Chain A
Amino acid sequence: MGTIWFWIVALMLTAYVVFDGFDLGVGAVYLWVARTESERSQALRSIGPVWDGNEVWLIAAGGTLFFAFPLLYATAFSGFYLPLMIVLWLIILRGISIELRGHSSDPLWRTFFEALFCVSSALLTVFFGAALANVVRGVPIGADGYFFLPLWTDFRTGDNPGILDWYTVLGGVTALTALSLHGVLYLAMKTQGNVEERAMQLSKYAWIATAVLSATGIPATILARPASLTHYLSHPIAFIFPFMAFACLVVLRFSLSKGLQFSCFLASCGYLSSMFLGAAFGIFPVILPSVGIHGKDLTIDQALSAPHTLRVGLVWWSVGICLAVMYFCIVYRLFRGKVSVDDASYEH
């Protein structure tokens, strides 16, 4: 049962990375790809009807984590207190900047909200990348089962790490480039004209950066957390994840040179999913690894809710997720196709 719920939460978070990933990425590259007033609103219209729904994956995954693994929720959320609060503030600022840009007629305020959207999106991707790297590296869980991390200590991954050290910063930067790539590919697929052209150009550089950083990421992970390698070696089937990520990158490059935009975007989805699930596999069956002398890893079994709760949960979760997927299909189908520069039908 624990294994099922571990993968349920991991899959929901993967859905979050893939879906909200592209609108975060659009935000991060937005100021470069879209230059004029109409190009910027074109870029925003491409995510307008969907970004809010994409964000729901995070809330739903959070809720699922809360009831399936209450101990993990309590430990991790209070331990990552400061970065989580900063994430919340960034989510708030990002959300209002999208909405308010559409409601401001003054060019000065539009520029301000555009910049706010770009900065908050970029910072969020960095934080999410760093957060994932924190979980992979491990945290100093104390004897009482709790921990508290400062924002940074000495930038080393020792017994006394902070939220930010060299490894988690690397994770953050990798996330920024990977999601920027994801975002430009989405923009290329959904827009026409100058935005599409610039997005296609930028995607080539973003691809190189992502490929280089992912290649660095693997030895870095082994260095920061040697246990992940042992786990992979004892279950060689897991090498399918890095292999898939590599294959997707190759397919992506090939599709880029052929100009196949949809296939590029799909390959990027595949790359992100493989990377994320590969990281999840690296820690399984631990759910929050620990570093330092006191620490004992927090495992799935310790953090899990009672069996009856989980059985009932599995029933409604399955029904609910089918409905959610159906809504997603309806919305994405209805808003399929490219957004032109002056298409008013996306306005509200």
Chain B
Amino acid sequence: MNALTLDRIQFAFTITYHYLFPQLTMGLALLIVILKTLAFRTSEADVAQNYDSSARFWGKLFAINFLIGVVTGIPMEFQFGTNWAEFSRRTGGVIGMPLAMEGIFSFFLESAFLGLLLFGEKRLSRRMHWLSAFLVFLGSWISGFFIIVTNAFMQHPVGYRMLSNGQFEVTSFQDLLLNPWAWLEYAHNMCAAVVTASFFMSAVGALYLLQRREGPYGRTFLRIGVIAGIISCTAQVFPTGDLHGKYMAKHQPMAIAAMEGLFHSEKGAGMVLLGQPNYETETIDNPLVVNKVLSFLIYGTTSAEVEGLDQFPKDQWPSTLPLLFYSYHIMVGLGTWFGALTGFSALLLWRGKLYSSRWVLWPILLSWPLPYIATTAGWMTTEIGRQPWLVYGLIRTSQGYSSHVTASNGLFTLLGFLGIYSLLSFLWVILVYNHVQSGPPVADRDRAIALTA
């Protein structure tokens, strides 16, 4: 393998791994604020205690994931310079800006108030402790925003001009931050983060109920998880997913054609539910198609013409076309399952039957890893859709890497990351398993009440 391929694999691997953690913590930060708010607003000491212990329980889980998110995030910033030097040289003046802003506006906020949230409960007033939780949430969501702004510039460059030496310069700070692509992608992405966290929380709730544990936590987690889940799953599809898709169809029509497996332009194009794109014959093998749906989804009428891959020169097609098709379909397929599961659970919750319906608790428990897969597939869809460009239409991926870092050095560091991240995964599983198994304190409740009183 040459250096470019190794650099691509290393970046794809490290960023995919990294994003397993922030997607949970960004969602959890919101859920913790909800728990703290419920605790703050209730006047019954027992109920407030329940919510406070829940928040503490999830706060510790947050801390474990936050830490791994931070330590695997630092390499991302470094790798722009180490592995993508030419890209950094040319675009650093533009994309370096949101990255630096992320560091200054969100990481300081997040780390300072996470310290207060975790270590300060006995030193702070209840109001200040609530505020700490809120500021951690704010910090993590601002952080996500700046990262998406960076990515959006690579997807849909705005507010820049190119100098004669190939370097980019920001001409409009507002345009860079108000990039419509960024806002659509951000909304879609943050919904996904809440989906991940709410599925995690419902799964722990379902586990406790299935284990017939005493105490109120199983029900609390399940209730909050399902309610947050149904809201975020809905918003995930409509309006955020829908709008993002429409905007993408306008600005990256080729990516849409590849995602949908549309080799030839068509009026009243159908949507492929299942099938395998065949690169040789330029058709879909074993297709299962719903007629006219694609035209409707993109243009709002069933007869509109959708551009197929044949409209574009072959050397600009995404280099890993089937992977793009599959990741998109995995994302959509899992999204459908999430909607069905949370919709049904919410119905049972409303009817007051969810806690005792063990046959529904099982799928809720087992579904916790699926949002991770869906989010990863979603990211792959966006990022492979952008190929072969690094900055869409302006810099090719093959022009951006560090050409003087040899393949053997690239291989060495890739193996290093593989080794260290395997270790991290192993530790994560043990830590999270132990934490979930021990659960929030139930037997010690009286002591806990006495301590915080």
Interface residues of A (CB under 8 A from B): 48-50, 52-53, 55-56, 58-64, 66-71, 73-78, 80-82, 84-85, 88-89, 91-93, 95-96, 99-100, 103, 144, 146-148, 305-306, 308-309, 312-313, 316-317, 320-321, 323-324, 327-328, 330-331, 334-335, 345-348
Contacts and interface: CB of A to CB of B under 8 A. Distances in A.
B88 A63 contact: no
B60 interface: yes
A308 to B, nearest CB: 6
B116 A331 contact: yes
Contacts of B70: 52, 55, 95
Contacts of B89: 70-71, 73-75
Contacts of A70: 88-93, 96, 167
Contact of A331 (B91, B107, B112, B427): B112
A327 B109 contact: yes
23 contacts: A49-B115, A52-B115, A66-B81, A73-B81, A74-B86, A77-B82, A78-B405, A88-B75, A100-B431, A305-B169, A309-B170, A312-B97, A313-B100, A316-B105, A317-B100, A320-B108, A323-B109, A324-B109, A327-B112, A328-B108, A331-B115, A334-B123, A348-B119
B333 interface: no
Majority SS of interface residues in chain A? helix
Contacts of B91: 70
Interface string B194-215: 0000000000000000000000
The 7 closest A-B pairs by CB, nearest first: A70-B92, A77-B81, A67-B96, A63-B100, A60-B103, A66-B96, A320-B104
A328 B116 CA distance: 11
Given A78-B402, A308-B171, A63 B99 contact: yes
B413 A59 contact: no
Given A67-B92, A327-B113, A345 B123 contact: yes
Contact of A327 (B67, B68, B108, B409): B108
A56 B99 contact: no
Contacts of B111: 52-53, 55-56
A153 B424 CA distance: 33
B404 interface: yes
Contact of B409 (A55, A81, A103): A81
B92 to A, nearest CB: 2
Majority SS of interface residues in chain B? helix
Given A49-B115, A93-B420, A96-B67, A148 B405 contact: yes
B64 A99 contact: yes
B93 A305 contact: yes
A81 B407 CA distance: 12
A47 to B, nearest CB: 11
A334 B82 contact: no
B411 to A, nearest CB: 12
Given A66-B100, A77-B85, A347-B119, 11 more contacts: A52-B67, A62-B103, A63-B99, A67-B95, A76-B81, A92-B72, A95-B70, A306-B163, A309-B169, A327-B108, A348-B60
Given A78-B81, A99-B63, A316 B101 contact: yes
B107 A77 contact: no
A273 B96 CA distance: 26
A66 B116 contact: no
A77 B96 contact: no
A146 B84 CA distance: 13
A50 B115 contact: yes
* Residue among A60, A81, A346 with max Cβ neighbours from chain B (10 Å): A81
